[in-house]
Structure 1
Amino acid sequence: MKTSAHMSLVQLAFEMTSLRIPVANIMPLRQLSPAVLKSVKYAQIAASIAEVGIIEPPVVVRDEKDPNGFHLLDGHIRVDILRNRGETEVVCLVATEDEAFTYNKRVSRIAIVQEHRMILKAIEKGVSEERLARALNVNISSIRHKRALLDGICQEVVDLIKDRHVPINTIGELRKLKPFRQIEAAELMITMNRFSVSYARSIVAATPESQLVRGSKSVKGLTLQQIEMMESESASLDREFRAIEQDYGSDHLDVVLAIGYVTRLLESAALVRHMAQHHAGILEEFQKIAELQKAA
């Protein structure tokens, strides 16, 4: 659940009013790749802007040296499309913090959730489902499906998956679970880095009836013994996840300290010469570890 303190922090992350800014004064933090420019998502957003305009304002932060300059934190595709359309101004939210990382932690950024939020905002502004369907080049049933995307999904799960590329049908599987089990399932998917519909269905199949939403059916073709085995495996995996989660912080710190120590050792020319003469194999492995540090 979001606390009032958390909501205050989010509100303080932005200036109180939006601002109409010349597009020429907005400096992107990154360039869009050719693949993004040719993607279906880019074409959909372009069609949406042409049909209903900008629904979700881009987010910028003021340049510390230039009073008329702004850095673009979020909305690179939208601003690029506006430039190509010859638009001269756009209404933006102005962030009070200069780190895109901080902003992105608080706002849903995955494509499916962003599209869901865009649809809701458009409907709130009076845009019809038919017009949205034309803008996004999809049928009306798809709009209605996406409009109800997060119905039955608890807020904690939305926060967990907001930066993940989760298929829309996977979210449908999560909807079959009660809130606490939804959270467990989302954590399992993140741990395994697997968000496929088949994996979500396996979690649902391994879920006891008591943790399923009323009316949700178990997977067909499984015997009671198979379901009990899946439930046992799921519980075991959950225990392993908790154990790994508890140890991760200290283990990661140990690895960082060890890598740092090895890197400092290799700064000694005399030590490197000695190891090259007497322990060439160990030196090679140490150098690989040092390269990992540089890559990180």
Structure 2
Amino acid sequence: MICLAIERGVAPEQLAKALAVDISSVRRKIGLLDGICPEAIDLLKDRQFSPELSRALRKMKPMRQVECVELMNSVNNLSVPYAEALLVATPENQLIAGRKPAKLAGLSAEQMSLMEREMGNLQVQYKLVEQTYGQDVLNLVIAKGFLSKLMENEAVRRFISKYQPDLVAEFEAIIATLALDQPHVSERVQASSK
């Protein structure tokens, strides 16, 4: 809104006075998105974040900016420490030339390299889980309905109780599930996907 007002001819000093803020704050907000690619800006447009987040993103190439903003949005964490951790874990070839991030204190080059690889692996795994989550929930709902109908049949219930008694408790736990985030179900879903 500040940029739009300035584009329409309102002086930054007038804005600062109207908003009851320091002029330096208005000037910082004017340049908040300078150096951020349009795709990343679009992902951030409805979110509140610290101006320091932009500082970290500016040091990355556009594709990495988008990747990091998507990751931050998906875990609902737009904090500066998280952005800086992503920056430090960013491979050099995805950074703007000459803008190498400071190393974290106490980490060797080997540990940094390992952290970069692990961050890359985590991002790939997270995207895979994100892609299959809807299908997994649908499968759980279908399985829950099927098991519910199955266990309502007394003959089937007696048979399972006689020959596979441990399954009765498992089936009942699944049937009693209200959401995928309940511990006993999410652990089973994760175990079955391995």
Query: Kindly tell me: are residues 227 and 287 of structure 1, through their superposed partners in 2, closer, same or farther at Cα, counting changes over 3 Å?
Result: closer
Q: Using the TM superposition, name which of 118-127 and 196-205 deviates more.
A: 118-127
The answer as to 2:123 corresponding to 1:238 is yes
Shift of 1:210: 1.6
On the 8 A contact 1:191/1:241 being kept in 2, the answer is no
Paired residues, number: 168
On the 8 A contact 2:147/2:171 being kept in 1, the answer is no
* Structure 2 unaligned blocks of 5 or more: 162-167, 182-194
On the 8 A contact 2:148/2:175 being kept in 1, the answer is no
**TM-score, L = length of structure 2:** 0.71
Larger relative strand fraction: 1
Where do 1:138-217 residues align within 5 Å? 138-217=21-100
Amino acid at match of 1:154: C
- 2:178 corresponds to: 289
Shift of 1:283: 5.4
Shift of 1:165: 3.2
* Structure 1 unaligned blocks of 5 or more: 1-117, 266-270
The percentage of aligned residue pairs carrying the same residue is 43
2: CA distance, partners of 1:236 / 1:258: 31
- 1:65 corresponds to: none
2: CA distance, partners of 1:119 / 1:282: 57
**Greater RCO structure (CA 8 Å; 6+ sep):** 1
Where do 1:26-105 residues align within 5 Å? none
2: CA distance, partners of 1:284 / 1:244: 23
1: CA distance, partners of 2:143 / 2:81: 39
Shift of 1:157: 1.3
Amino acid at match of 2:120: A
Shift of 1:177: 0.5
- 2:140 corresponds to: 255
Shift of 1:143: 0.6
Q: Kindly provide the CA deviation profile for residues 201-244 of structure 1, in whole angstroms up to 9, marking residues without a partner as x.
A: 01111112221112323224443223212211111112212321
Query: Kindly tell me: are residues 131 and 289 of structure 1, through their superposed partners in 2, closer, same or farther at Cα, counting changes over 3 Å?
Result: same
**TM-score, L = length of structure 1:** 0.49
2: CA distance, partners of 1:195 / 1:285: 35
1: CA distance, partners of 2:173 / 2:130: 32
- 2:188 corresponds to: none
Q: Kindly provide the CA deviation profile for residues 225-278 of structure 1, in whole angstroms up to 9, marking residues without a partner as x.
A: 23212211111112212321332232132134345x26985xxxxx49998xx9
Where do 1:92-131 residues align within 5 Å? 118-131=1-14
Larger relative helix fraction: 2
RMSD: 3.1
